[in-house]
Amino acid sequence: MSDNENLETAVADETLDVLGEICPYPQLYTKKKLEKMPAGSILEILTDHPPAAEETIPGYCKQKNYPFVVTKDGAVYRIIVKKTR
């Protein structure tokens, strides 16, 4: 099972609710939150802004080499990120 598959069922250490926020705020708040979290932590991000869920937050995670998974339930995206360093 890959890291990303494990993340789908992982229990988050913290949740960041950015529902109602539009770019660039979801990604900026995600970056600030992850910077404060220790390595190995799992962050759950809730957003309803498709560009944040499909582009900016995943792009940031790829840049940092943080494993992540994105799921969608109705209009709400749930992004689970593991801070690896």
Whether 61 sits among the annotated catalytic residues: the reply is no
| Residue matched to tokens 């970056």 | 31
Reported pTM: 0.92
pLDDT, residue 1, reads 34
pLDDT, residue 8, reads 84
Q: DSSP state, 71? A: E
Tokens of 12: 């988050």
Q: Among the options 23, 28, 37, 46, which is catalytic?
A: 23
Domain ranges of the chain: 3-82
List the pLDDT tens digit at each of the 85 positions of the chain: 345 658 888 899 999 999 999 999 999 999 999 999 999 999 999 999 999 999 999 999 999 999 999 999 999 999 999 999 9
Phi then psi dihedrals of residue 12, to 5 deg: -75, 145
For the domain 3-82, what is the CATH code? 3.30.110.40
